[in-house]
Structure 1
Amino acid sequence: MRTTLDGPRSRLRAPLIADSIIAVVLTAGSLVVIGATSPRIPVRLPDAAAVRAPDALNLVLAALCTLPVALRRRWPFVMLAATAIPAWALVALGYDSGLGIAGVLILLYSVAAHRGLALSLAALVTALATSAVSASVRPGPVSWADHVVVFVVTLLCWVCGRAIRLRRAYLAELVQRAHRLERAREADTRAARAEERSRIARELHDVVAHHVSVMTVQAAAARRMLDSDPEVTRDALTAIEEMGRTAMAEMRDIVGVLRTDDPAELRPQPGMQDIPALVEQMREAGLRAQLRIGGERRGLPPGIDLAAYRLVQEALTNSLRHAGPAARAWVTVRHEPAELTVHIEDDGRGDADGALTVKGKGHGLVGIRERVALYGGILHIGPRTGGGFEVRARFPLKDRP
């Protein structure tokens, strides 16, 4: 056997038990009031309706005016309409209604607190009519002030119910809004994580591809000159060692972003001021590269500064790997007030070995496209007029003064 109630069922039964207790207490009080205040024989008071002595029918009708309170949360309007019938019967038969008006007010509050505006207005009209009729048969004269009091109390119960409903709806909206904001924050967090992973992947690819390519070329040169020219071999091995250390340092800085929240612990990222050193490094690796810088040099936004440097690095790396041993490369950087133009070209065989495509579907060229698009730039990658390959990018600087 089950000894405990399910959670939802227990939550539904708890209000029903409480409302049933209220209904029983209210009914008992109503019957006591009827027995204590009603005359034993029919009388007619001055300026008042005739009041009959209480009997079994009077008690049953009075109980029917208060017992529906037990179902006020489930069917509030139906119960309110149900109380109107015995209330009007009490008036028609000349009986005292006891505390029947209290049951009407409780049901009116329940309709206003748990149902819509149209139904609550209908309940208000029903309650006003029932309360006014019930008040008119109380012993003693009934003045206009009594009707005003009944009207004000009835309207106050309705207003309180509507206020509770509006407050409940407002709190529910706040909860829903908090849930929506939480979901939006989680979505933004996931998007930021995905963007950060993509950024780190681009950085790692650029660093590894560039330095490994240079190290591969230097190792090939050292292998060819190992027997004939040991001095050249020694220089190539020294360059490989320095290149490996540089690659490890840059990768350590990139991965360090994931391990620390203090950017001061990390070295600054490379930028356009490091382009001359990069070109010189490619010359040492065997690529005959030249650098031309035009326009007035100005400070660049950090993101564009890094993106332009990585673009030059990736393009020169591709030239070193695919252009051929006798190829030449030119790097042209032009600073203008509204944009930064970077142009890298070579006169080698391009993608004759099938390692590079004009559409740029390799990881390096995809990374270049993502970097340029991130800052609203325009990128062109393709064969160069007269042979070779070129990469041209324009970064807008509209936010600069």
Structure 2
Amino acid sequence: MITESRPPLLRRLPPGVWVAAFWLSVIVFRVFTRDNELHHLFEYNGNIEDMPLVVTAVVTTLVALLLVRLPLAAVAVALAGCVYTLGMREVPETAVLQFLIADAIVGYCAATRSRLVSLCAAGMPVAMVATMLIWGAVHGYPVNPMAFGGFAATVVIAWLVGNTIHQSRAHTEALRGRATEQAVTAERLRIARELHDMVAHNIGIIAIQAGMGSRVMDTQPAETRNALNAIEATSRETLAGLRRMLGALRQGEQESAPLEVAPGLAELDRLVEKTAGAGVRVALTRNGEPRALPSDVDLAAFRIVQEAVTNVVKHSGTRDCHVTVDYRPDEVAVAVVDLGTGAAPGVPGYGITGMRERVSLLHGEFSAGPRPEGGFRVAARLPLPVEVGP
């Protein structure tokens, strides 16, 4: 059973606790510097270090406690502090500070909350400004419309800044989701190619061997036994490959494990031997000096040859084909040629499409089609990455 460790105690404390501790330390300091008297902190005598300081402490502490869970209530608290401190005419900076706190909460709501919540948060200080402007005009108090308009403008600016952050995050999440979807699609295509190339070849061999065994069952028991042995060996190999693939798929996403032990051109001799058991002779020619290739190029070259040979076994109607592997300085080229009749007309299968996709991913060249002199030819050129010297 997996249990998650709890964070340290100090990290579990809400922000409001830290804000309250800060203001408490400030107030205690003020008490010890004013003859240990508390009453002056709750009386306003035009000194910004007394009552306005306590109001600011209470407002910021409540805002820190309410901001995450009840942001609209936090806006209301900041505006209440602003209204309360408007009576302290000799220190108008305190009311401005409370209003700026409300602006900060509006920006926070616009950045992290829904559009409805953010608009409600912005509407509260704008409504308060409009109410005070009307109230002052009705009761004959001198008001400055430009000042009140400036307060309303700060609310709009705070909301626009927060909304820009919200849209930027949404755009980033959309791009991340699209990239994840593309990665999943690419992985599905890779799995589909590996399944097709591994299973189609082996099942084709099994089908050929089963047909051969059924035809000579009565007249050539030894050949029937050989066919059954080949079917058994190929079936076990296919089952082992599927188990490796399923095991890799069940692994966690922390590590990117290959679907199976990736084969390469070094496995061509075994492929030739297995195809010969199905009744198709493969002549293998290697030009140039065989050398180690990058794993993706080596796997792609082998899979192309394997799929092309599988098509010869299943569709060509011939018993011979020629495979050529050409090791060149900057690329490796493979070609599979047969003199058969090719597949029956109809909808093309996935084999040639998969081969073309493999070559395209490696920025190579691929061609497949009937030859003028008869038969079918599959050819691919896979470039090798340029080695950069020290």
> For this structure pair, what is the TM-score category when the shorter chain's length is used for normalisation?
0.5 to 0.7
Q: Tell me, in whole angstroms, the C-alpha distance in 2 between the residues paired with 1:250 and 1:12.
A: 60
1:230-263: per-residue Cα shift (whole Å, max 9, x none)? 1111111111100101111112222222111467
TM-score (norm 2): 0.63
- Residue equivalent to 2:37: none
Preserved contact between residue 20 and residue 71 of structure 1 (Cα < 8 Å): no
> Hey, what does 1:292 align to over in structure 2?
285
Question: How many pairs align?
Answer: 285
Aligned mates of 2:244, 2:85 — CA distance in 1: 77
Match of 1:373 among 325, 345, 360: 360
The match for 2:200 is: 209
What is the DSSP-based 3-state SS (H/G/I as helix, E as strand, rest coil) of the residue aligned with 2:192? helix
Distance verdict in 2 for CA 1:20–1:229, change over 3 Å:
closer
Residue 222 of structure 1 pairs with residue 213 of structure 2: yes
In 1: Cα distance, 2:85 partner to 2:128 partner: 20
Tell me, in whole angstroms, the C-alpha distance in 2 between the residues paired with 1:192 and 1:237.
42
Q: Deviations over 1:171-230 (max 9, x none)?
A: 544443333222222222222112111211111112221111111111111112212221
1:143 alignment partner in structure 2: none
Structure 2 counterpart of 1:341? 333
Quick one: distance in 1 between partners of 2:83 and 2:262?
77
Does 1:253 pair with 2:244? yes
CA distance in 2: counterparts of 1:239 and 1:334, whole angstroms: 30
Task: Quote the offset at 1:341 in angstroms.
Answer: 0.7
Q: TM-score, normalised by structure 1?
A: 0.61
**Aligned letter for 2:359?**
V
Shift of 1:76: 4.3
Following superposition, the deviation at residue 334 of structure 1 comes to 0.8
Corresponding position: 1:270 with 2:232: no
**Structure 1: which 5+ runs fail to align?**
1-9, 31-69, 90-96, 117-164
Local SS of the residue matching 2:127: coil
Contact 1:72 1:79 in 2 (8 A): no
| 2:17 aligned partner | none
The aligned residue for residue 74 of structure 1 is 127
Q: Gaps spanning 5+ residues in structure 2: where?
A: 1-69, 90-122
Instruction: Name the residue aligned to 1:7.
Output: none
Amino acid at match of 1:180: H
Separation in 2, partners of 1:173, 1:249: 54
Partner of 2:314: 321
Structural mapping, 1:51-62, within 5 Å = none
Amino acid at match of 2:155: H
- The CA deviation at 1:266 is 7.0
Displacement, 1:276?
1.6
Q: Secondary structure at the match of 1:341?
A: strand
How many Å separate the matches in 2 of 1:350 and 1:182?
49
RMSD: 3.7
Q: Tell me the distance in 2 between the aligned counterparts of 1:350 and 1:224.
A: 23
Task: From the superposition, tell whether residues 230 and 13 of structure 1 become closer, same or farther in structure 2 (CA, over 3 Å).
Answer: closer
* Whole-Å separation in 2 of the counterparts to 1:13 and 1:280: 79
Distance 1:20 1:267 in 2: 67
Q: Which residue of 1 aligns with 2:301?
A: 308
Distance 1:110 1:378, change over 3 A: same
**Residue in 1 that maps onto 2:223:** 232
> Equivalent residue of 1:293, what SS?
strand
- SS in structure 1 at match of 2:234: helix
Deviation at 1:293? Answer: 1.0
* Structure 2 counterpart SS, 1:299: coil
Give the 3 Å change call, closer, same or farther, for CA 81–395 of structure 1 in structure 2: farther
Percentage of matched positions with identical amino acids? 36
1:134 match: none
Letter paired with 1:332? T
